[in-house]
Structure 1
Amino acid sequence: MLLLSAVSYSQATESTLEKDLQASFQAFEAAFNQHDAKAIAKLWQEDAVHRQTSLAGNLKGRAAILAAYEALFQSDPEAKLAITLNSIREVAPGVASVKCSTQVLHSDKSVSFSRLSALLAKDGNQWVISEVEEADVPAGASVSPGALHQLDWLVGTWVDGNEKSTVSNHVYWISGGNFLARTYHMNTPQGFSQSGMQIIGWDREHNVLRCWQFDGDGSFGEGTLEQTGPATWRCPMVVKLVDGRRASFSQVIERVSSNELKLSLVNMEVDGQALPGTGPDKLTRRGN
């Protein structure tokens, strides 16, 4: 259930590539939030291409991309962007592939989400975007601060025991009622043990349910929780591993009944390398 903890990772530090690309995307985010379309355009190659699956046409060339951002800022004058880098991979000298998750808080206080794959090339000392393919993430049911209390049913102790492992989860309200906490513990017959905590709370700035995760091995992560069906919730997470590498996955929770749920981990990657998912694992309620 937990994560990538059963996989052995070698020790490593953040590479210059990762730091440089993080700086480039931070500059993009800052330019967007200042509504500086010209500064954004400078971060794209002259012949760059932007493809968005929800649109019939593509944006081709820096001039078209500049015009699109100018139109966006005119129509949405208070739009704010947050970017999360999910994975970074060098595909050739001076060429890198990046996968990101984005969320935009619009002037009307609604929030839109997307995931994108970007190809960047180094131009002198600067990384510039050459290609982007972006896909909208459908918003779940509309959320509000009260959405956190829609997860009341999670409060209690949930267990799963099989021949491979024993997993226990304890979910409870933190004093004040503004955060849910989940502590978890896993044991395997081979003697492997893993513990950690998740905290879920309402992000008033971006109008989303945000999830923070802390594992006993020193890794930590963050994601946003959205309801994707009448009884299904999905939480895409980005995790910084203890060896400095970056991992991502989506945690999917399905409420089967008041005393049973299913949990899956899907879309698992470490530094851009896909890993098999897990589940769905069935958990049953032991008590409140």
Structure 2
Amino acid sequence: MSTWTVRRGVALSASFILALCAGPEVGAQVAAGPTSKTAAEAEIRAFDAAFVDWYNKGDAKALASLYTEDADVFEADGARYRGRDLIERSYTETIAAQKGAKLTLEIESIRPLSADVVKEEGRSLTTLATGAVVPRFYTALFVKSDGRWLIASVREETDSLVRPHDRLKELDWLIGDWVAAGTELDAQVHGGWSADGNFLILDYSVKRGVKPMMQVTQRVGWDAVASQFHSWEFDSEGGFGEGIWSRDGERWVVKQTGVRPEGVTASSTRILTRKRAYLVSLLVTDQVVGGVAIPGEERSALTRVPPVPQLGAGPPRPINEKSPQ
């Protein structure tokens, strides 16, 4: 693998996702001839979705087929290269070097310049397997040839600001409804976005048997100064606390400190480990209350609640390892 490819792998994947066009299957459905603004936008959006899907599947050949033979690529650092063969080779090496990377697009505008030329502008996001997010601004030019859209050129610019919402996508697996079963306490947990999209909100309803114990609300955000996730939580009895999050593979370690309702300080370490898309283990250890260490550990498991089936969708199926998530 060339030094050039390793150095530009992230930029390459980020810039090319923006320029989506139809592959052989999708392109065959696009009618030739004059295209209205509404139809052109719908076609390009469909091609964008197909491109992102192909990238996430690691299909370099299909991605390269979306470009004209002499397509131009201009990267954020000033590098320029041309040709479908080089594009395919670059995709092949980038996908191999960044296994597990996922791409998304935020389209700002799709503007037909003529019946056969469309300009798209937006922002691309590459989320690496480590959770790091690489953003780029982009401008893509599409041309229609034989009834099929192809990418003629892509120009990207560096986006130095990663928004809090983009950072938090690393934790969006928490979104949804969960049930937690422990040795003493049970809980129902609901995870969702805040109204502004810049925080994750986790609401806990804690019970001992059938008896309600307390309600807890936790807000998780990005600390731009410390460059890590930070959470704040408040319970219905007047206690409050905060946590500092760090990642170790599929394990999230949360160093928690707080004040109990009676005014006693407390601290602990919480470790969440993703076992499956529907199963997370929780270990609470290193507990200290009022300066006194509490021996032992507390273990529980969070299980995702399947969504309520829609009318006519058929009977619900149990979630297991062979069920698609």
Name the structure where helix makes up a greater proportion of residues.
2
Report the structure, 1 or 2, having the larger strand content. 1
Q: What TM-score, normalized by structure 2, do the two folds share? A: 0.42
TM-score by length of 1: 0.47
| Greater RCO structure (CA 8 Å; 6+ sep) | 1
Higher-Rg member (1/2): 2
